[in-house]
Amino acid sequence: MSFSQPKTTIDEGDTVILYLTVTNVYAIEAVPQIKNKKGELIDNVFQTNFGALKVKDIIGVQYGSKVDLTKGWAYVLQPNPELWTQTLPHRTQILYTPDISMILYQLEIRPGSIVIESGTGSGSLSHYFLRAIRPHGFLHTFDFHEERVQKAQEEFESHGLGEFVKVTHRDVCENGFGADLDGKADAVFLDLPVPQLAIPHAVKAMKEQGGRLCSFSPCIEQSGRVCEALEQQGFVDIVNLEVLQLEEVVRVKNVPVMNLEFVKHKKTESDKETKTPKETKKYVTSSAPSSVAGHTGFLTVAELPPLFAR
C-alpha cells in the first residue's frame, strides 16, 4: 500500500525503494521470507553492489532511514512514480519523465479526471496518471496482451491503487473501448502500433463537452497518419511535439582582461616595450553540452471540441 498515501514506517508487503547511488536504485518487496526453487521458505536476502540486505530488517523502519548492508549502506524510500519508473520490471519499452510531464500537461490531467490509456505496457505512465487524478478520478487502461494485463492489475492492487484503475484485455483498434465508456472520458492517451485506427473509438469515448487526446509515435510517418485521422474526426489545434532534454553545462571560466592604459607601445625601435599586466576575472558561464539526448518519439496532441461545435 506504499503508493496510496504518505507513510512513516515500512509495513510488511510494502514496495520499498532501496537507494544506493543515482544509478543504483532498486524496488524491493518488504516480505521477510520467500520460496526457493524447491518451494521451501527461506529468508529474503537482497543482493547489491554494496553487499546484502536482510529484507526482514527494514520492516518497521522509518522511510528515509539509512540502513546497513554487509559492505556499505543505503536509504529506504517510499516509492513515487518517478522512482518507480527507474526501477519497475520492464515488460515493454516505457515512457520516461520528460515525455510523461508533457503528456500530463497537454492532456490537462487533474484530480477527478476520467482517463483512458492504451496500451498499459509496463505501467510507467499509468502510475503518473493515478497520482494526478486521485482521489476522485479514474483510469481505464487497455492492453492487447493478456499476461501484461494480469501483471499490471496485480501491481496496482499491491500498490494500493486498485480502486482508482481498471485494466482490460482488449484490442482497442478493432473493438474500441466498450460501450460502457461512451461519453465518459476527459482525456485519451494512445501508445499503439496503429493508433489512427483507435481514434474514431476515442471520439465515442469522450464527453459531449469535448476532451484532449495525445498519441505517442516513434516515427514521423506514424505521427503524420495520426494527424490525418485526427483532422478527419473533427479534432482541432493539432500539434506535433518532440521532447528533448537538454542539460546546460555551467562552469566558472577565467577570462583575461585588457587594460587600455597599459597597451603596448613603441616610439622607436630602441624603446622598451611596456607589457599589458596579466589580469583575469572569473565569470560563471553556461553553454550547450557537446552531445544532445537522442530521439524518443513524437507526441501528437489535439482537442476535440464540444459536441455542438463539431
pLDDT digit string, tens, across residues 34-79: 988 888 899 999 999 999 999 999 999 999 999 999 999 999 999 9
The cell for 126 is 499509468
User: What's the predicted TM-score (pTM) here?
Assistant: 0.86
Beta strands in 243-297 (DSSP E): 249-257, 279-287
pLDDT tens figures, 188-217:
999 999 999 999 999 999 999 999 999 999
Which residues lie closer than 8 Å to 40 by C-beta, 6 or more apart?
A: none
Give the pLDDT confidence score for residue 268 in this predicted structure. 46
Greatest Cα pair distance, the chain, in angstroms, is: 99
The cell for 161 is 491503487
The rounded distance, in Å, linking the Cα atoms of 184 and 206 is: 6
Give the pLDDT confidence score for residue 244 in this predicted structure. 86
Question: Judging by beta carbons within 10 Å of its beta carbon (0-12, 13-18, 19+), is residue 234 exposed, middle or buried?
Answer: middle
Give the pLDDT confidence score for residue 20 in this predicted structure. 96
The rounded distance, in Å, linking the Cα atoms of 79 and 60 is: 16
Mean pLDDT of 283-308: 85
Question: Judging by beta carbons within 10 Å of its beta carbon (0-12, 13-18, 19+), is residue 246 exposed, middle or buried?
Answer: exposed
The cell for 123 is 505501467
DSSP 277: P
The rounded distance, in Å, linking the Cα atoms of 4 and 6 is: 7
Is domain 85-244+293-309 classified as CATH 3.40.50.150? yes
Give the pLDDT confidence score for residue 291 in this predicted structure. 72
pLDDT tens figures, 209-244:
999 999 999 999 999 999 999 999 999 999 999 998
Could you tell me the residue ranges of all domains in the chain?
Answer: 15-79, 85-244+293-309
Q: What is the dihedral of CA 120, 124, 129, 132, to 10 degrees?
A: 170
Is domain 15-79 classified as CATH 3.10.330.20? yes
Residues in the chain: 310
pLDDT tens figures, 247-275:
788 889 888 887 666 555 544 444 555 55
> What does the mean pLDDT of the chain come to?
91
